[in-house]
Structure 1
Amino acid sequence: MPSTTDEDLDDQKTDTAAEDTATSDGDATEGPADAASEPGSAADGENDDAEPATPGRRRRRFLVGALAALAVAGFATSGYLGWQLWHNRQVEQAAAQAQTAAVAYAQVLTSIDSNNVDENFAQVLDGSTGEFKDMYTKSSTQLRQLLIDNEASARGVVLESAVQSASENQVVVLLFVDQSVQNASVPDPRIDRSRIKMTMDYVDGRWRASQVELP
């Protein structure tokens, strides 16, 4: 049996210390490398966020945008149709009112009494405006004297009327009028039938005749 000397014990201690040192150095070297290679790190998370949108995601975005555009277009169309309906009702109401005023004014215009000529003229001027009022005012002096000298009188009756065109502030009305006329030289009344085209303008809250034509 071989004997162990002090030198042999010192050699064994030296070898054991060297192995322990090598083992600890190997563990310290492997730590950082393993950490860098582990999945799920912060760097990998940043790369996931930067990935481009998938086709499905792009399709959903397109559909949302298209639906929003359709909704806006629907609201705009609904608003326009509502305004158009309101506008049409306003025009229809204007046409009806102007037609009623034109019928009444045509009867004033075609009815005259030489004994009340000034009153008749005042009524005619009150219901007129614009071009027709200017023309009637200029000719009223001569016409007044002619009516008085001939002891003339007339009475008009509107047989039919119709709206030719209309807007909110101007309406053109066609009227068919029978006018019974007599004077000093022709005491028996005779009937004159006339077609009158009357343009009515909405002025100062009333419908007034701005043009009177005998087409």
Structure 2
Amino acid sequence: MAVTVTSETEVEVESAEVEAADAPVDAPETETETKAEEPSPRRWPRLVRRGLLWALIVGLLGASGFLGWQVWQQREIAAASRDAQAAAVHYAQVLTSIDSNNVDQNFAEVLNGATGEFKDMYSQSSAQLRQLLVDNKATARGVVIDSAVKSATKNQVVVLMFVDQTVANKAAPDPRIDRSRVKMTMDKVDGAWRASKVELP
């Protein structure tokens, strides 16, 4: 019977080899793991579509906001046109209706509806005009036959009117009708529409 003698050194070597075999082996980093943080080529189309969708939403919101502002502006101007036109029609009838027996009240109403250039001009000539009306016992009554807005902003509207004015005085007691075309510029002052310019084009 043969006996094999194993030295202590050989035993230690075999033990180390067994431990090394049992130890877990670290797997090498794969290319997929290194690139895990970067979007895969398959995700790019989805990201592009998402970006385009957001751009489209932002664009639509901007366009709708601009269109809404335009609609609001148009409504404001339309409302200004209606109010100024009504005020111009009323004022034209005040301006063209005079009673020499009540001239001071007539003048007060005319000045109350005026502003700017026209108010200054009427104030300067009112004394002379008053005396002329009283001396001639003049009366007049104006009626607006038709009117239209020529141009408009939120604070200024130009109105065209056709006015029939029935006039009588001491020299011509039988009333006659004078027909005039009036161009009136209305300005919004302290929330009220007043005539700043009156022309007979």
Shift of 1:82: 2.1
Shift of 1:114: 1.2
Matched, 1:99 2:85: yes
Distance 1:100 1:25, change over 3 A: closer
- 1:124 corresponds in structure 2 to 110
Shift of 1:17: 5.9
Q: Which amino acid aligns with 1:194?
A: S
Distance 1:18 1:151, change over 3 A: closer
- 1:203 corresponds in structure 2 to 189
Secondary structure of the residue that 2:137 maps to in structure 1?
Answer: coil
- 1:23 corresponds in structure 2 to 14
Shift of 1:88: 1.6
Note the alpha carbon deviations across 1:83-128, whole angstroms, 9 max, x for none: 2222222221211111111111111111111111111101100111
**Distance in 2 of aligned mates of 1:112 and 1:134:** 19
- 2:130 corresponds in structure 1 to 144
| Aligned Cα root-mean-square deviation (Å) | 2.4
Tell me the TM-score normalised to structure 2 length.
0.87
Unmatched segments (≥5 aa) in structure 1: none
Secondary structure of the residue that 2:186 maps to in structure 1?
Answer: strand
Matched, 1:13 2:5: yes
Query: Which of these two proteins has the greater Rg computed from alpha carbons?
Result: 1
Distance 1:111 1:48, change over 3 A: closer
Secondary structure of the residue that 1:55 maps to in structure 2?
Answer: coil
Identify which of 106, 130, 144 aligns with 1:158. Answer: 144
Unmatched segments (≥5 aa) in structure 2: none
Secondary structure of the residue that 1:151 maps to in structure 2?
Answer: coil
Shift of 1:25: 4.5
Tell me the TM-score normalised to structure 1 length.
0.82
**Distance in 1 of aligned mates of 2:16 and 2:64:** 80
**Distance in 2 of aligned mates of 1:113 and 1:25:** 131
Identify which of 32, 36, 41 aligns with 1:49. Answer: 36
Secondary structure of the residue that 1:106 maps to in structure 2?
Answer: helix
**Distance in 1 of aligned mates of 2:9 and 2:175:** 150
**Distance in 2 of aligned mates of 1:177 and 1:124:** 16
- 1:35 corresponds in structure 2 to 25
Shift of 1:28: 4.8
Is the helix fraction higher in 1 or 2?
A: 1
Secondary structure of the residue that 2:15 maps to in structure 1?
Answer: helix
- Structure 2 matches for 1:75-90, cutoff 5 A? 75-90=61-76
